[in-house]
Amino acid sequence: MREVETHIDIAAPTQRVWDVLTDFAAYPEWNPFFIAVDGRAHPGEKLALHTKFSRRFSPRVSTVTVRTVDPPCRLRWGGGLAIPRLADGEHGFHLDATDGGTRMRHYGRFSGLLIPMAGMLISALEQRCHELNSALRTRVEG
């Protein structure tokens, strides 16, 4: 298993961060990584993620299933990479209230036979997670 984990502090209440994070219809306005999401943040819901892994490549559309929705703290979805056991993934956000606002933990977990060979993709994914975090902070604080 490979994991990417990032954190960012956002100067806003957790509910405000949650509202922006779960407003999938507005993702095209601010999100550089998941440039569009079709679906709703409800457990068991299928989402069509339009993911831009790199500025050089066209977005990739994959279907994932919402696994956890715990407002205003946790959102998690999984699937969408390929055939289970070859490459599977989980993506999540965990929000914690702090004295100055919200700390967001943003992570991806990947497993399967092909994942050990995906080093460059995992590095690119980590960079995109940082970009999403910064864009979310700008959106929420702006």
Domain ranges across the chain: 2-141
Question: Which secondary structure element, helix H or strand E, spans residue 47, and what is its range?
Answer: strand 46-51
Q: What gap in Å lies between CA 55 and CA 67, rounded to an integer? A: 28
pLDDT digit string, tens, across residues 88-101: 678 899 999 999 99
The CATH classification number of 2-141 equals 3.30.530.20
pLDDT digit string, tens, across residues 74-132: 999 998 655 666 666 788 999 999 999 999 999 987 766 555 555 556 667 788 899 99
pLDDT > 70: what percent of the chain? 83
